[in-house]
Amino acid sequence: MSYITGSAGYYYDTGSSTSIPHTLPAACGVGDAVLLSITNGSNDDVASVSSSHIAWSFVGNANHATNTQSYRIWIGIVTADFAAASEVVTATWSAAVTYRGIESIAYTAGPGKMFNAISPAQQFGQTTYASAANPTTADGYSVALTTTGAGSFIIVSCMNPEDTTADSVSSCAPGTGSTLRGTVHSQFSGGSNEMPFWWADKSQSSAGSVTVYGQHTQSCEYQSSIVAVALHISPIVILQSMFWQRDSSGVSSHTVDFPLNVTPGSVIAGYLWAVYDQARTMTAFTAKSGTDTGTVVHQDTARINMAYIKNATGGATDITFTLSGTNSYDRLWAFEIAGCDTTDPYDGHNVSDDAVNFGLTTDAMTSGSITTTAAGDVLAVVGWNGNERTAYPTTGTGFISDGTWDATTVYDCTRMEHKVLGAAGSYAGTFTQPSDQYNYSAAAMAFKAASGSTPRRRILFIN
């Protein structure tokens, strides 16, 4: 997880209006998080925040009530990639306000990872100091949080000293342990009439108590505060995603190898497509030369089969798909997923009918819905185009792509994707078809998160 370089930005306007626009300066991808500090010269609440490719929610109120200066913290999770200086965020009030401003910063969870979809901003805290009563020593400002749950965190902090005296910007800085990411040198008036603001962050590898510090070494004319938000990274991460093409008639099994050692405790999710509707059923799914025994959850004598292995032994790992029936062209896929429950990870599956034309509407290509029973599941999805090579289904809204593959003997290609889900409920794997033809299909399995796992890096291999 890391700060997205160049994402710290701001926009101010002293005039009176019911809204303020702000163009985000940096490019962001699906699953990234954007934090906003929204201010106005009264205590009026922000009615809404909107933009084209981000889902927004309110985090906390950091107002300086005595001075009638409003500071509201909002967070957004990116639902579709966007380029630098292309995403306009608009904050709206129910009535016209003056001295409006937005400060922004963005973070990525890291390869194969996503922020917790239920509460990406898990904790919020602030400490406010009265006018001319702020600490002026190093690390004098502080705010403490206590994070909970599996996964890791990035603690983002900011300071709002209402100090318009000379040198107020140079007097203001993050404290020990935090890295400065962006500074606003003058909010409204410029020159010596400065009101400093900065963003900073520090990482936290596991849940627990954490304190962030700041300093403003001169006495503030008005109220001042330090704010901290804990961004929560889901413990689930895709470690490997693989495709194997097997074109051989009459064989009763396929054994393939993951190129990297499997992490002990991982889930291995396997998918089989039997091309051309020839009778083919997966009867068993094993790993480590039969040491790890899986569960087949979907059998289809026409085409599509799915299975999984829980709590994998780990290390060098082969996977065996055992089959009945005959077929000339088999397609095999597998995810290795870390951070899942090791005892009972499976939380449902679904698959669309094969050879379907879903149409060209965005996200119309679907696995069909799965009703999950736990919060924070991961949905691991395969989408197949049986018509043509290199015309991959487009990643579904809010999903992260885990790679694309082409077959070399017949005309078909694939995309794999995943998404960390929110509260228990109904979800589906989705894609968008690249062409208006038949012969598309999608399959999805949901897996529950562990209660105490640690995220790891994802390495994607293309075969």
pLDDT of amino acid 255: 94
Per-residue pLDDT of the chain (463 residues; tens, 9 = 90+): 689 999 999 998 888 999 999 999 999 988 899 999 998 888 788 999 999 999 999 999 988 888 888 899 999 999 888 999 999 999 999 999 988 899 999 999 887 778 887 788 999 999 999 999 999 999 999 999 999 877 789 999 999 888 777 777 788 999 999 999 988 755 554 444 567 889 999 999 889 999 999 999 999 888 999 999 999 988 888 889 999 988 766 788 999 999 889 989 999 999 998 876 567 889 999 999 999 999 999 998 667 899 999 999 999 999 999 998 877 788 899 999 999 999 999 999 999 876 688 999 999 999 999 999 998 899 999 999 887 777 899 999 889 888 898 877 677 889 999 998 988 999 999 999 998 888 889 999 999 998 744 333 333 333 3
Residue 384's beta-bridge partner residues? 414, 441
Strand residues in 136-246 grouped as ranges (E): 141-146, 152-159, 172-174, 179-184, 197-204, 209-216, 224-233, 237-246
Distance from C-alpha of 138 to C-alpha of 156, rounded to nearest angstrom: 19
pLDDT of amino acid 88: 98
Distance from C-alpha of 392 to C-alpha of 385, rounded to nearest angstrom: 7
pLDDT of amino acid 249: 66
pLDDT of amino acid 452: 45
CA neighbor of 23 nearest in space, from 39, 6, 41, 40: 6
CA end-to-end span of the chain? 27
Residue 445, C-beta contacts closer than 8 angstroms, at least 6 positions apart: 269, 297, 306, 308, 346, 348, 349, 379, 380
- Are 379 and 442 in contact by the 8 Å Cβ rule? The answer is no
Residues present in the chain in total: 463
SS3 (DSSP) at 351: strand
pTM score: 0.75
pLDDT of amino acid 455: 34
- Are 341 and 313 in contact by the 8 Å Cβ rule? The answer is no
Residue 328, C-beta contacts closer than 8 angstroms, at least 6 positions apart: 247, 248, 249, 275, 276, 278
